[in-house]
Amino acid sequence: MLQCIFILSDSGQVMLEKQLIGHKVDRSICAWFWDQVISQGDSFKQHSVIASPTHYLFQIVREGITFLACTQLEMPPLMGIEFLCRVADVLSDYLEGLNEDVIKDNFVIVYELLDEMIDNGFPLTTEPNILREMIALPNIVSKMLSVVTGNSSNVSETLPGATASCVPWRTTDIKYANNEVYVDLVEEMDAIINRDGVLVKCEIYGEVQVNSHITGVPELTLSFANPSIMDDVRFHPSVRFRLWESHHILSFVPPDGLFKLMSYRVKKLKSTPIYVKPQITSDAGACRINVMVGIRNDTGKMIDSITVQFQLPSCVLSADLTANHGAVTMCNWSIDRIPKDRAPALSGTLMLETGLERLHVFPSFRVGFRIQGVALSGLQLDKLDLRVVPSRLYRGFRALTRSGLYEVRS
């Protein structure tokens, strides 16, 4: 059971406080938390569960905004983390983004959403479709009316019909002239390549995202050509898990609009789509750096939005960097697309601080890229069927792979 929720800005300021039970949690816990963030740096923010002297804390960070929940009672830690993720997703959907100004400008709506999403410390209503019926989306007209009338409430006076349904994520009176469903495979590649060019780790984190606009209460089935390659699968509540266990088929009644149907991992991949080869030599107080980028495996699709980022050690006083393709800004090299006639290369000279002859700490390179139209995991969709009327349905399939934590060490 959660006792309190705080929303903190990127400077540690408490933007919103929501006490959930009779026992009030003092704001001093936020001061303790932010002191730890300052003293330990970004590594502290990577811990989702933290034991303070008085409370257990759960935290997630989205777009620089920290969502912090507190409890003194025994509870499943994943429940607290998952609930904070739901809160962040709902607020991002309602407010069309997350930042300090947006949350302050829509303080009333944020508070109303938290009122409906959790009751007496226990998660209650977290489905976006139900929340949209209960609390109106913010717009200029509603803000003007609240100023004129003095009524700032956005909560509907009627209970959504989906709350009494066996599929609470969907209402029954949805109607469309054209019935459409789009399925997207969105994957992120995490890779670590050591200084010898050996692939230490390479895996894919993927999501199956569905955008449905279908009349009534349809039942869809989605199957894969090679489902056995997926590990660590997680499903939307609409998925019938028994059918997946027995036949590896996803059967579900979709929410209206865009939602994440499932997530998965594909581990121990053997290759990456591009290579980055850094070479750093140092002598007599100066360093020479050369970085080459090229295509390792041709996927048949264009690789774009290629970037290489790195952070120089504190002992480097100045850097003079140039590239034969793309733009270099400080330690950020934007390549975009690799030309066919030459391999992009970055070179330059680094000046070390006085008294230091050689560089002893070498930078790591973070690589970014995007490939439209291909899933590098090899996962393939087989077919998508509609089991309940309407019979005419337009189907669309797309794939996208982008870089996640892609690191090359030098």
Residue 134: give its domain's CATH number. 3.30.450.60
Q: Is the pTM of this model over 0.95?
A: no
- The pair of structure tokens assigned to 220 is 């869809």
pLDDT on residue 153? 57
Residue 319 to residue 230: CA distance in whole angstroms: 44
pLDDT at 222: 94
The answer as to whether 57 is a domain residue is yes
* 345 and 403 both lie in a single domain: no
What's the average model confidence in pLDDT over 363-377?
93
Residue ending a domain, among 110, 129, 149, is 149
Query: In whole angstroms, what is the distance from residue 379 CA to residue 385 CA?
Result: 18
Lowest mean pLDDT among 115-124, 226-235, 388-397: 388-397
Task: Confirm whether 384 is domain-assigned.
Answer: yes
Position 141 confidence tier, pLDDT thresholds 50, 70, 90: very low
User: Given 126, 149, 172, which residue is the final one in a domain?
Assistant: 149
* The predicted structure's pLDDT at residue 161: 56
In terms of pLDDT, which residue wins out, 154 or 244? 244
pLDDT beyond 70 at 147: no
Q: pLDDT category, 250, cuts 50, 70, 90?
A: very high
376-409 pLDDT tens trace: 999 999 999 887 766 678 889 999 999 999 999 8
- Answer yes or no: is 351 within a domain: yes
Question: pLDDT tens-digit profile of 17-68?
Answer: 999 887 888 899 999 999 988 888 777 777 899 999 899 999 999 988 999 9
Regarding predicted confidence, which is higher, 388 or 186? 186
Q: What value does the mean pLDDT take over residues 2-19? A: 91
User: Quick check: 164 pLDDT over 80?
Assistant: no
Query: In total, how many domains does the chain have?
Result: 3
Res. 150 pLDDT band, cuts 50 70 90: low
Question: Is residue 286 domain-shared with residue 358, that is, in the same domain?
Answer: yes
Question: Residue 167: pLDDT band by 50, 70, 90 thresholds?
Answer: confident
- Decide: 88 and 72 in contact? Cβ < 8 Å: no
- Are 280 and 262 contained in the same domain? no
Same domain, 253 and 189: yes
Query: If 0-12 CB within 10 Å is exposed, 13-18 middle and 19+ buried, where does residue 211 land?
Result: middle
What average pLDDT does range 148-175 have in this prediction?
Answer: 63
Are 309 and 332 found together in one domain?
yes
Label residue 149 by pLDDT band (50, 70, 90): low
171 pLDDT more than 80: no
Q: Is residue 162 part of a domain?
A: no
* 388, 364: one domain: no
Residue 329, burial from CB neighbour count under 10 angstroms (0-12, 13-18, 19+): exposed
Q: Which residue range(s) make up the domain with 278? A: 274-372
Name the residue type at position 315.
Answer: C
Q: Give tens-digit pLDDT for 314-327.
A: 888 888 889 998 89
Structure tokens belonging to residue 95: 């407010």
Please indicate whether residue 239 or residue 23 has the higher confidence score (pLDDT). 239
